[in-house]
């Protein structure tokens, strides 16, 4: 519980309307996109400029009050979940696009700018910002940086980390620092890569310089139908093995297309066990050549039907279905739980068979959508929060998928981050010495652990507790536990 005297001091550094404490004002911030986890914040602050962010952080540091940063709250790992006794620092009002430089092909934006707004602002220069999370209409650049977000186009154009040149952050002490530059590389440790994906644990992002890329002359999508999900999984590996790097390579299984088609009317083949969407972009000649190669590989892998988008409207319709897959599944089930493991592409088929067996084991259905080219899975486990025990089953189902991802040589997250959701699985992914290193990095930025506490990096106590039930890759050194 935050002390009323501290709220008064917050009101001393922010305008009155920027400090919310009344229940009806703060309840909307009780969760992010993973609504199974909820916690009503004591206080929400909405600064309107960097100086106000600095003032809030200085105050929190001086009084040892924790801070949780939040952008649009679309995160799917409970990363922006309010923590008891913490200030929820919402960056949504820092939403100015400060500069677009068509010659340098860069944009400078505040953290509350929506992802899609950058491409809209750059469009008159025939440029766009490549990382395109399906939530891009709402999610903010601050959240994208904190999660190292990805999207359909990241297979060819890279994740957030590959498309950001410089970030400006405020430390928990209220000190402003800049990392990166306009140049593609810099000497010394790569602190930019360290901070991108750090889930609000190292500092609060107040400005981001991103790269813009030219809009391709042409983009077309091949949609392939498969009668067997394993064949579709193998086709993904075969495309990459053939040396083709598509602009997007996504897969949806039958339950996913069945949910999406009535919602979006994308023209998906509802008889197929799985469909693949494979985009080529470039000059018309490059696209024609790549599509011919893609068709040959897909046919060789057993695709029974191939369609190529014949207009920009049709291409966008094919993608609209994939991008709306989460809300479409939300229409057919009271609740769904979106997972985010990553596995080596060649093991997609194995993972899909295992998920089918888990559906029977837990008695819950699962629709599968994938950033298949990246080996990034998004199983959508359907459950009903109002049924006693259903959420616990969904959570156990999800945990089993994540831990199998590690066993198959992959990772517990591809793009959604760890947050609270996957914190136990961090104990499976990493050894004790690796976690100790993460804690040391955290301490170098935030010694008192005030920024987004309890998220992303598990304490060794937590791992010890979890390790009693699960096999831990590393050897737990119990005498060391008191240090964290
Ligand atoms: C329908 C749907 C589809 C999605 N599709 C994708 C997808 O394709 N790819 C993908 O990667 N993700 C996807 N997501 C997840 C989510 O949109 C991303 O993680 C996004 O980057 C979160 O941005 P946000 O502004 O909503 O951040 P929030 O949810 O508000 O916060 C996310 C994390 O960032 C931290 N944070 C936020 N702002 C700052 C800041 N200024 N400084 C420091 N830390 C900060 C928070 O503390 C938290 O840990 C999807 C979500 C939904 C609901």
pLDDT digits (tens, 9 = 90+) for 50-89: 999 999 999 999 999 999 999 999 999 999 999 999 999 9
Instruction: Write the CA distances from 450 to 3, 62, 352, 375, 454, integer angstroms.
Output: 16, 11, 40, 34, 10
Q: How far is the CA of 74 from the centre of ligand 1 (A)?
A: 5
Top mutation candidate among 30, 49, 74 for ligand 1, by most atoms within 8 Å of CB: 74
Given a contact cutoff of 8 angstroms between Cβ atoms, the answer to whether 26 and 41 are in contact is yes
Q: Whose CA is nearest to atom 16 of ligand 1?
A: 75
pLDDT digits (tens, 9 = 90+) for 166-178: 999 999 999 999 9
Q: What is the mean pLDDT of residues 457-463?
A: 93
Which residues lie below 8 Å from residue 317, measured CB to CB, with a gap of 6+?
Answer: 264, 265, 266, 267, 309
> What's the sign of the alpha-carbon dihedral 43, 49, 50, 52?
negative
Q: How far apart are CA 251 and CA 291, in angstroms?
A: 17
SS3 state of residue 232: helix
Q: Decide whether any atom of ligand 1 lies within 6 Å of the 416 Cβ.
A: yes
SS3 335: strand
> From the alpha carbon of 203, which atom of ligand 1 is closest?
43
Ligand 1, pocket-test mutation among 89, 91, 146, 199, most atoms within 8 A of CB: 146
Confidence band of 482 (pLDDT split at 50, 70, 90):
very low
Instruction: Please say if the pLDDT value at position 331 is more than 70.
Output: yes
Q: Is 81 in the pocket of ligand 1 (CB under 6 A)?
A: no
| CB of residue 73 inside a 6 A radius of ligand 1 | yes
Residue 472's pLDDT band (cuts 50, 70, 90): very low
Start-to-end CA span in the chain (Å) = 23
pLDDT at 476 over 60: no
Q: Decide whether any atom of ligand 1 lies within 6 Å of the 76 Cβ.
A: yes
Report the C-alpha gap between 322 and 403 in whole angstroms: 26
Residues 472 and 469: their CA atoms lie apart, in Å, by: 9
Q: How far is the CA of 450 from the centre of ligand 1 (A)?
A: 20
Determine if ligand 1 sits within 6 Å of the CB of residue 47: no
Distance from Cα 267 to the centre of ligand 1, integer Å: 30
Residue 417 CA to its chain's centroid (Å): 6
* Mean pLDDT of the residues in the chain: 94
Ligand 1 atom with least separation from CA of 150: 11
Q: Does the beta carbon of 435 sit less than 6 angstroms from any atom of ligand 1?
A: no
pTM for this entry = 0.94
Residue 480 pLDDT > 90: no
Kindly tell me if the per-residue pLDDT of 477 is higher than 70: no
369 lines ligand 1 (CB under 6 A): no
């Amino acid at each position: 519980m935050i002390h009323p005297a501290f709220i008064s001091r917050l009101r001393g550094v922010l305008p009155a309307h920027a400090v919310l404490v009344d229940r009806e004002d703060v309840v909307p911030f009780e969760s992010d996109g993973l609504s199974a986890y909820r916690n009503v914040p004591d206080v929400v602050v909405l600064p309107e400029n960097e100086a106000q962010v600095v003032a809030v952080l200085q105050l929190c540091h001086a009084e040892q009050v924790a801070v949780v940063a939040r952008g649009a709250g679309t995160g799917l790992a409970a990363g922006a979940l309010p923590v008891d006794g913490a200030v929820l620092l919402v960056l949504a009002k820092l939403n100015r696009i400060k500069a677009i430089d068509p010659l340098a092909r860069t944009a400078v934006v505040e953290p509350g700018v929506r992802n899609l707004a950058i491409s809209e602002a750059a469009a008159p220069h025939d440029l766009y910002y490549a990382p395109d999370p399906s939530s891009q209409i709402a999610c903010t650049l601050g959240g994208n940086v904190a999660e190292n977000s990805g999207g359909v186009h990241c297979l060819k154009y890279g994740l957030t980390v590959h498309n950001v040149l410089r970030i400006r952050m405020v430390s928990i002490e209220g000190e402003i620092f800049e990392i990166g530059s306009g140049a593609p590389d810099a000497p010394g440790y790569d602190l930019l890569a360290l901070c991108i994906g750090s889930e609000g644990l190292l500092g609060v992002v107040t400005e981001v310089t991103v790269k813009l890329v030219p809009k391709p002359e042409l983009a077309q999508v091949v949609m392939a139908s498969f009668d067997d999900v394993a064949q579709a999984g193998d086709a993904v590996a075969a495309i990459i093995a053939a040396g083709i790097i598509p602009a997007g390579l996504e897969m949806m299984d039958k339950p996913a297309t069945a949910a999406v088609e009535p919602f979006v009317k994308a023209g998906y083949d509802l008889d197929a066990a799985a469909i693949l969407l494979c985009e080529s972009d470039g000059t018309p000649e490059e696209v024609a050549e790549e599509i011919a190669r893609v068709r040959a590989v897909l046919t060789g892998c057993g695709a029974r039907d191939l369609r190529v988008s014949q207009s920009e409207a049709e291409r966008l319709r094919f993608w609209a279905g994939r991008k709306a897959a989460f809300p479409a599944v939300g229409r057919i089930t009271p609740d769904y739980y979106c997972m985010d493991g990553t596995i080596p592409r060649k093991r997609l088929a194995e993972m899909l068979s295992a998920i089918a067996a888990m559906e029977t084991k837990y008695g819950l259905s699962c629709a599968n959508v994938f950033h298949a080219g990246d080996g990034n899975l998004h199983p959508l486990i359907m459950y009903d929060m109002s049924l006693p025990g259903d959420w616990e089953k969904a959570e156990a189902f999800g945990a089993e998928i994540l831990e199998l991802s590690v066993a198959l040589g992959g990772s517990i997250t591809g793009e959604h981050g760890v947050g609270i959701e996957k914190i136990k699985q961090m104990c499976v992914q990493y050894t004790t010495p690796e976690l100790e290193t993460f804690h040391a990095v955290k301490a170098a930025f935030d010694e008192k652990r005030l920024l987004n506490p309890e998220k992303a990096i598990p304490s060794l106590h937590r791992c010890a507790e979890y390790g009693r039930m699960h096999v831990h890759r590393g050897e737990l050194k119990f005498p060391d536990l008191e240090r964290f």
